């Protein structure tokens, strides 16, 4: 079984800032998938640059910055579009509907579907065990997590726990470059975390050079992302929430970030 290749490109959307698109390519079969379709032009250019032919779109959720280019890309490439079965708003153009526990293949590699509701109710993420790579959409970000638009904090916490339980050496591709702001916020809730301080410095340096901070390693997120660290005693003590449940600590951190 040959290795999969990964490629990431960025585009700017008016509402959501820098979005990332991740491509997965099998040199063996020629199959190429793109996670989400927020901008058709960016996808077409990336495919042309790589000399790849798109065979699949893997859609995470219905927000416009993730699906706006779907129908144009599908019309141009004839690709098969995979997306959430449990839609909170209809997504036009889906061919294959998936839910938790489902799997499919690319280049002979299994892709597992994880439902991670919270940001939206329809959110699905895609995990490739053979290459330890996960595409987290707007659920888990580098040093952050998505805003809770449709779900509850408890639901989002459960979804993040599902991702946190993947192998620590999993590579995390998320959909936005929000890491600099997230690092500044993280330092306010977890100021004594030396791994966070070190990572924040690296993030600020990368962003000063205009370089991406995505993807990241899950191990880094577990050590430094406050939204995965609700059980950490030092952070709980800092927040004055030593007796609270993990979900309550997570909800408090999410609320503070919303107002940051």
Per-residue contact string for residues 48-67; x = within reach of Zn ion by CB under 5 A: ---------------x----
Q: Which is nearer to Zn ion, 52 or 135 (CB)?
A: 135
Catalytic residue among 62, 119, 190, 232: 119
Instruction: Report the nearest approach of Zn ion to the CB of residue 223 (Å).
Output: 26
The long-range contacts involving 97-101, CB below 8 angstroms and separated by at least 24 positions, are 98/124, 99/124
By beta carbon distance, the residue nearest Zn ion is 63
Instruction: Output 56 or 63, the one with its CB closest to Zn ion.
Output: 63
> Near Zn ion by CB under 5 A, which window of 28-36, 104-112, 132-140, 154-162?
132-140
119 included as an active-site residue = yes
Q: Give the total of residues touching Zn ion (CB under 5 A).
A: 2
56 is catalytic: no
- 215: preceding bond cis by omega (within 30 degrees): yes
Check binding of 138 to Zn ion (CB under 5 A): yes
Q: Give me the catalytic one of 25, 56, 62, 63.
A: 63
Catalytic, out of 61, 122, 190, 232: 61
Looking at 135-143, 181-189, 202-210, 236-244, which segment touches Zn ion (CB under 5 A)? 135-143
Cβ closer to Zn ion: 63 or 257?
63
Active site residues: 61, 63, 65-66, 119, 138, 176
Where do contacts with Zn ion occur on this chain (CB under 5 A)?
63, 138
């Amino acid at each position: 079984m040959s290795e999969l290749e990964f490629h990431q490109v960025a585009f700017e959307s008016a509402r959501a800032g820098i979005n990332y698109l991740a491509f997965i390519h099998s040199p063996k079969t020629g199959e190429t998938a793109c996670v989400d379709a927020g901008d058709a032009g960016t996808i077409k250019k990336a495919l042309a640059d790589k000399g790849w032919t798109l065979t699949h779109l893997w859609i995470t959720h219905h927000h416009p910055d993730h699906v706006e280019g779907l129908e144009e890309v599908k019309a141009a490439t004839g690709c098969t579009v995979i997306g959430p079965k449990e839609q909170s708003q209809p997504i036009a153009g889906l061919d294959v509907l998936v839910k938790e526990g489902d799997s499919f293949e690319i280049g002979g590699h299994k892709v597992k579907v994880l439902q991670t509701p919270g940001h939206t109710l329809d959110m699905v993420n895609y995990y490739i065990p053979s290459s330890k790579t996960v595409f987290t959409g707007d659920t888990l970000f580098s040093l952050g997590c998505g805003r809770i638009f449709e779900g509850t904090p408890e639901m989002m916490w459960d979804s993040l726990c599902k991702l946190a339980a993947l192998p620590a050496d999993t590579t995390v591709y998320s959909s936005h470059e929000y890491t600099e702001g997230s690092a500044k916020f993280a330092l306010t809730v977890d100021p004594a975390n030396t791994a966070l301080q070190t990572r924040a410095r690296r993030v600020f340096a990368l962003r000063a050079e205009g370089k991406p901070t995505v993807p990241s390693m899950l191990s880094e997120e577990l050590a430094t992302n406050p939204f995965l660290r609700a059980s950490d005693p030092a952070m709980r003590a800092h927040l004055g929430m030593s007796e609270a449940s993990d979900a309550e600590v997570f909800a408090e951190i999410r609320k503070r970030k919303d107002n940051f």
